[in-house]
């Protein structure tokens, strides 16, 4: 077979086109990654698996591991995609969010809607393969986690709704393993709800002036900085209280108690950072809370290795 100069040029151009297409695809995937802030999955994933480990009293199997990860990713992608779709007008007026992909033209409304819709379908499909109760709860869960985008337009309870959305993670985890909702999982979920609502209050301090200007309902814009920080402290005290009750009612042992103690110390440090310097809100929000979930998970794993 003779390879002509024309054939070589064709092959070379085809390779260049393929590379160009791959680069465009990678760029688009990065835009969607930035849209949903995938790294924030670190807040919910540990508590899904904490509930699964406690429910199974140890290892729950590779099938549920894969399904649990897929459920967490699709649910969060739906929630964030829907939020970014609904908040295009708000984000365009906020200096902190003006460079997001849903605002600066990198992703248009149609692309975001399709992405959100496909993730909703993906979540329902995953629930189908988990068990009947998971499937029955799939659509109500999607409605709850999608409602956050509306609440901040008319209610100061938006922070609680966000907390409830992530607080559903342990419920989803225990349903996947036992197809039931034991009392200890509700306590764990309420703790997660107050944890998330508490650090969301701190994070919202960045947008006080914008919220006031746009007429959005947030606790910081309504009650001011000091009361918001007080509410956040109260929420995090309740977090520790409910997590302690979770340990008691789940018959967990020493490592689980240690997880609660260390969580209390880390939340105290988070408030120390914000009190000291508002510019450290990002560090308090991402770093401290991210490590908290991972550490809690590791200690629950150890608790189930040595004391079950």
Provide the residue ranges of all domains of the chain, joining segments of one domain with +.
Answer: 1-36, 41-306
pLDDT tens per residue across all 308 residues of the chain: 555 666 666 666 666 656 666 666 677 667 667 677 766 666 778 999 999 999 998 889 899 999 999 998 899 899 888 888 888 888 787 777 788 887 777 888 888 899 999 999 999 999 999 999 999 999 999 999 888 877 877 788 888 988 999 999 999 999 999 999 999 999 999 999 999 999 889 888 887 888 788 778 788 888 888 899 999 999 999 999 999 999 999 999 999 999 999 999 999 988 888 887 666 666 666 778 888 999 999 999 999 987 66
Cα gap 274→28, rounded to integer Å? 35
Dihedral angle at the C-alpha atoms of 202, 208, 212, 214, nearest 10 degrees? -90
Give the whole-angstrom CA distance, residue 130 versus residue 307: 28
pLDDT for position 88: 82
**Are 191 and 246 within 8 A, CB to CB?**
yes
pLDDT on residue 301: 94
Cβ atoms of 46 and 294 closer than 8 Å: yes
Looking at residue 98, its pLDDT comes to 82
Spell out the residues 6+ positions from residue 4 whose beta carbon is closer than 8 angstroms to its own.
none
Look at the alpha carbons of 94, 95, 99, 105 in this order and tell me if their dihedral is positive or negative: positive
Say how far apart CA 182 and CA 191 lie, in whole Å.
Answer: 15
Q: Of how many residues is the chain composed? A: 308
Correct CATH for 41-306 of 3.30.1300.10, 1.10.357.140, 1.10.3720.10, 3.40.50.970: 1.10.357.140
Whether the CB-CB separation of 263 and 307 falls below 8 Å is answered with no
- Residues 297, 46 contacting (CB under 8 angstroms): yes
Give, in order, the Cα–Cα distances in Å from 297 to each of 70, 72, 138. 18, 16, 24
Q: With contact defined as beta carbons under 8 Å apart, do 282 and 245 qualify?
A: no
In terms of Cβ atoms closer than 10 Å to its own Cβ (0-12, 13-18, 19+), residue 12 is exposed
Q: What gap in Å lies between CA 242 and CA 137, rounded to an integer? A: 24
Q: How many CA atoms lie within 13 A of 130 on its CB side?
A: 32
Provide the pLDDT for residue 168: 92
Give the C-alpha distances (Å, rounded to integers) separating 232 from 109, 220, 274, 280.
34, 10, 11, 16
């Amino acid at each position: 077979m003779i390879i002509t100069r024309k054939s070589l040029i064709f092959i070379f151009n085809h390779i260049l086109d393929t590379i160009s297409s791959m680069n465009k695809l990678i760029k688009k995937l990065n835009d969607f990654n930035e849209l949903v802030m995938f790294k924030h999955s670190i807040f919910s994933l540990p508590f899904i698996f904490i509930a699964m480990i406690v429910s199974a009293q140890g290892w729950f199997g590779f099938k549920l591991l894969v399904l649990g990860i897929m459920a967490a990713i699709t649910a969060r992608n739906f929630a964030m995609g829907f939020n970014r779709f609904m908040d295009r007008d708000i984000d365009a007026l906020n200096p902190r969010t003006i460079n997001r992909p849903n605002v600066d033209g990198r992703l248009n409304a149609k692309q975001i809607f399709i992405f959100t819709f496909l993730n909703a379908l993906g979540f329902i499909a995953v629930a189908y393969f988990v068990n009947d109760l998971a499937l029955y709860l799939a659509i109500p869960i999607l409605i709850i986690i999608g409602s956050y985008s509306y609440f901040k337009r008319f209610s100061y309870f938006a922070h609680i709704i966000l907390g409830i959305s992530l607080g559903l993670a342990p419920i989803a985890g225990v349903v996947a393993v036992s197809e039931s909702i034991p009392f200890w999982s509700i306590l764990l979920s309420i703790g997660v709800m107050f944890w998330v609502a508490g650090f969301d209050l701190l994070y919202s301090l960045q947008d006080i002036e914008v919220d006031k200007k746009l007429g959005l309902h947030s606790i910081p814009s309504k009650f001011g900085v000091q009361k918001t920080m007080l509410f956040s402290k109260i929420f995090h005290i309740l977090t520790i209280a409910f997590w302690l009750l979770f340990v008691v009612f789940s018959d967990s042992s020493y490592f689980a108690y240690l997880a609660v103690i260390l969580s209390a110390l880390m939340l105290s440090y988070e408030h120390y950072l914000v009190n000291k310097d508002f510019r450290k809100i990002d560090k308090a929000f991402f770093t401290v809370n991210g490590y908290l979930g991972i550490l809690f998970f590791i200690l629950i794993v150890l608790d189930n290795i040595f004391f079950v």
